Structure 1
Amino acid sequence: MKILIALLAVALLAGAALLVAIRTNGPAVLNALDRVTGGSRDVALVARTTYGEHPAQKLRIYAPADAAGPLPVFVFVHGGSWSWGDPDDYDFVARAIAPAGFVTVLAGYRLGEDGRYPAMLEDTAAAIAEAARLAPQYGGDPARIVIAGHSAGAYNVVQVALEERWLAASGVRPAGVIGLSGPYDFYPFDRPSGEAAFGSVGAGPESQPVNHARADAPPMLLVHGEQDTLVKPRNTRVLAAALDQLGAPVETLLYDSFDHNAPLISLASPWRGSRDVDDAVIAFAQRHTEVSVPVQAQTP
């Protein structure tokens, strides 16, 4: 009995240590754990490319093995308070999404001083446009694109989807937008990350997604944890209410026990499958990118 209790204690300590490591070292730890516990899931990296001269302006394109195309495209933008992060640490997102039948693109953008507003939005829009341009080369359909992001990345994708000027030049209209733990209404800037990325360049209310809600916005899925103290869940509630009031299609998933990173962690093994975040994200993306087959009239 003592041995069993000791083993249980060790397992609990190991689990707690792992969660601390994930919170401390972030996506790189999560990515490594996903590879070990989840395997490749028959997902292959098919392209490493760039969309600009800055080192952070890179795309990583993944595709499911032996999939018959053209497939819808899922573009994911990482978080990191607009100051850190690398798409090369987010392979686990591709391994979560691509097996469901998506060409999956992980996008980077300029960070820190180089990425101050509106540079992060310029880059996100350019990355989406380049993903659409390249999609046919890797079995993707540029007319069926879902864009998604976590935290700062959720801000990026939601803002470029709502403020029409960002994607107007490319002609890309996302079929759906997914935000995980995103900040959508945080002006005036009262946190160091917001002040550095937005306040330092004099950005104002125009920088807030909630102020660009419109009736013809792409369908949105907004996911948030009620225990998120970094980006309060009111951000999701306020944006969802603004969209809903205008008649725009919006869905929310609010999890009582989730903190800021839990929606993202839920896309990685071994958590993938034990929570319903991945199922909800995939179902939303599939629903809004499915191909409508015209009904043929019966001949008399």
Structure 2
Amino acid sequence: MPPKKLSRLLSVFSACATLCACAPINVINALTPGTTYHSVTDVAYGAAQRLRLDVYVPAHAEASSTKLPVVVFFYGGSWQSGDRAEYRFVGEALASQGFLTIIPDYRTYPDVTFPAFMDDAAKAVRWTVDHAGVFGGDPRRVFLMGHSAGAQIAALLATDERYLRHAGLTTRAISGVIGLAGPYDFLPLQSGTLRRVFPEAVREASQPIRFVTGREPPMFLGVGDTDRIVEPGNTVRFAQRLREMHVAVEICHYDLGHAMMLGAISAPLRRFFPVLQDVAAFVKGNERRASDAGCDTSERLTVEETASSR
């Protein structure tokens, strides 16, 4: 589609959201089909009330002769907000590509500060490894994906192994990482609120770029060149560091802003942008199986019977 026509389309989309007095994300979800997946919602993965997740199972997954790749998606929100229900369009998008998708909530500021939400994220990954098989997923092909603050969480899980180890895993349990519009090298902090989210005593430990050792799984980093929220240099510098340490990394530039880096994968918009296509190609090209050493299976969690299905 020519740029002018696409620009007009996005303007109309935004105007519709304004006229409906609702956020664009709600419009996207309203236009998201429900035929490509079925979901299991409100599953507990930890003791805290906030630690719940939703599972998106590709339609007809039971007919597949092979287990499905698994993607755990962490949403953004400046580590201060977010709700997994708002990301149904992400679950649908990834399920439409044949990926079992897990979208967890995690605790945010002011209820907690860094690194508490990292511990939550590691618990969600552990739950996924333990339970993916129940839904037809392959626990040896688990990918981490995040947008914005969620990309920082995914990247830090893969670079600073302490969080996964505390959950009984290692980075060998991760087949790859997908980061969209992520902050990976964002010190010094300019915001007073963010200085409270990341207390000074642990602030340096929040930077994924500082933990790259060369043992990380392959990474796909998508960057919006017109991003005004997260400086695109975060992705460029992180990719350069990964390459210096001989980690397989693919960096893709898009003429998109911060929110649209994720919105572009939604059903109404993905025909105009290749983001979902690129993410799917990365997953399908890196389906290496994690070694048994990546998973400590001595503990097993139980899915609550209260989980609802649709």
- Same fold per superposition (TM over 0.5): yes
TM class by smaller structure: 0.7 to 0.9
> Corresponding residue for 1:224?
223
Confirm or deny that 1:124 pairs with 2:117.
no
Q: In structure 2, what residue type is equivalent to 1:185?
A: D
Aligned residues of 1:46 and 1:138 also touching (Cα < 8 A): no
Report the 3-state secondary structure (helix = DSSP H, G, I; strand = E; otherwise coil) of the residue aligned with 2:55.
Answer: strand
Distance of aligned partners of 1:46 and 1:13 in 2 relative to their CA distance in 1, 3 Å threshold: closer
Partner in structure 1 of residue 110 of structure 2 = 113
* SS of alignment partner, residue 253 of structure 1: strand
State the structure with bigger RCO (CA 8 A, min sep 6), 1 or 2.
2
C-alpha deviation, 1:238, in angstroms: 0.7
* Structure 2 equivalent of residue 285 of structure 1: 283
Could you tell me how far 1:42 is from its partner in structure 2? 2.4
Give the 3 Å change call, closer, same or farther, for CA 234–20 of structure 1 in structure 2: farther
User: Displacement of 1:287 after TM fit?
Assistant: 1.1
Per-residue CA distance 1:44-92 (angstroms, 9 max, x = gap): 0034301123232111001112221421111101111111111111111
Distance 1:18 1:154, change over 3 A: farther
Quote how far apart the aligned CAs of 1:30 are: 2.6
Aligned equivalent of 1:56, options 47, 50, 54: 50
Pair 1:215–1:226, CA change in 2 (3 A): same
Q: Which amino acid aligns with 2:34?
A: S
Report what 2:181 is aligned to. Answer: 181
Per-residue deviation, residues 216-255 of structure 1 (Å, max 9, x unmatched): 1110011111111110000001100001011111110112
Shift of the 240–62 alpha-carbon distance from structure 1 to 2, 3 Å rule, reads: same
- Code of the residue aligned with 2:256 in structure 1: it is F
Mapped to 2, the partners of 1:21 and 1:197 lie a distance apart of 35
SS of equivalent residue, structure 1 residue 202 = helix
Q: Check if 1:203 corresponds to 2:202.
A: yes
- Unaligned runs of 5+ residues in structure 2 are 1-7, 290-310
Give the CA deviation at 1:19: 6.6
Structure 2 residue 236 is the aligned partner of structure 1 residue 237: yes
Structure 1 unaligned residues grouped into runs of 5+: 1-9, 292-300
Aligned to 1:171: 169
Q: Which of 123, 137, 148 is the aligned partner of 2:134?
A: 137
Whether the 8 Å contact between 2:28 and 2:268 is mirrored in structure 1 is: no
Alignment partners' CA distance in 2, 1:213 and 1:247: 10
- Once the two structures are TM-superposed, the CA of residue 13 in structure 1 deviates from its matched residue by 5.9
The 3 A distance-change label for structure 1 pair 47 and 12 is closer
Q: Is 1:162 equivalent to 2:159 in the alignment?
A: yes
C-alpha separation in 2, matches of 1:268 and 1:57: 25
* Residues in 2 aligned to 1:26 and 1:46: alpha-carbon distance in whole angstroms: 25
Is the contact between residue 146 and residue 152 of structure 2 (CA under 8 Å) also seen in structure 1? yes
Q: Compared with structure 1, are the counterparts of its residues 21 and 87 closer, same or farther at alpha carbon in structure 2 (3 Å cutoff)?
A: farther
Go from structure 1 to structure 2 and tell me whether the alpha carbon gap of 1:161 and 1:193 turns closer, same or farther (over 3 Å shift). Answer: farther
Contact 2:17/2:24 (CA < 8 Å) preserved in 1? no
- Per-residue deviation, residues 78-124 of structure 1 (Å, max 9, x unmatched): 11111111111111111111122211111110011223100110111
Alignment of structure 1 residues 64-103 onto 2, 5 Å: 64-67=58-61, 68=64, 69-103=66-100
| Residue correspondence of structure 1 range 241-280 to structure 2 within 5 A | 241-255=240-254, 257-280=255-278
Secondary structure, aligned partner of 2:143 = strand
Alignment partners' CA distance in 2, 1:242 and 1:196? 27
Contact 2:175–2:288 (CA under 8 A) maintained in structure 1: no
Aligned partner of residue 77 in structure 2, secondary structure:
coil
Deviations 1:31-52 (A, max 9, x none): 223x2xxx22420003430112
Coordinate RMSD, CA, aligned: 2.3
Residue in structure 2 matched with residue 3 of structure 1 by the alignment: none
TM-score normalised by the chain length of structure 2: 0.83
Paired residue type of 1:269: A
Report the 3-state secondary structure (helix = DSSP H, G, I; strand = E; otherwise coil) of the residue aligned with 1:238: helix
Q: Compared with structure 1, are the counterparts of its residues 19 and 221 closer, same or farther at alpha carbon in structure 2 (3 Å cutoff)? A: farther
